Amino acid sequence: MPAEPGSRRFPAWTRTTARPEGGGRAIGGHAPAPARQWPILLVLGGVALGLLLTAAGTFRAGIVLIGASLLAGGLLRWLLPSVGMLAVRSRFTDVITYVVLGTVIVLLALMAQPDPVLEFPFLEDVVRFSVR
CB 87 within 8 A of CB 20: yes
pLDDT band per the 50, 70, 90 thresholds, residue 7: low
Instruction: Give the pLDDT score at 4.
Output: 57
Look up the pTM and report it. 0.76
Give yes or no for residue 17 having a pLDDT over 70. no
Give yes or no for residue 127 having a pLDDT over 90. no
Q: What is the pLDDT of residues 71-113, one digit of tens each?
A: 999 999 999 888 888 888 889 999 999 999 999 999 999 988 8
H helix runs in 1-132, sequence order = 33-36, 38-56, 59-79, 91-111, 121-130
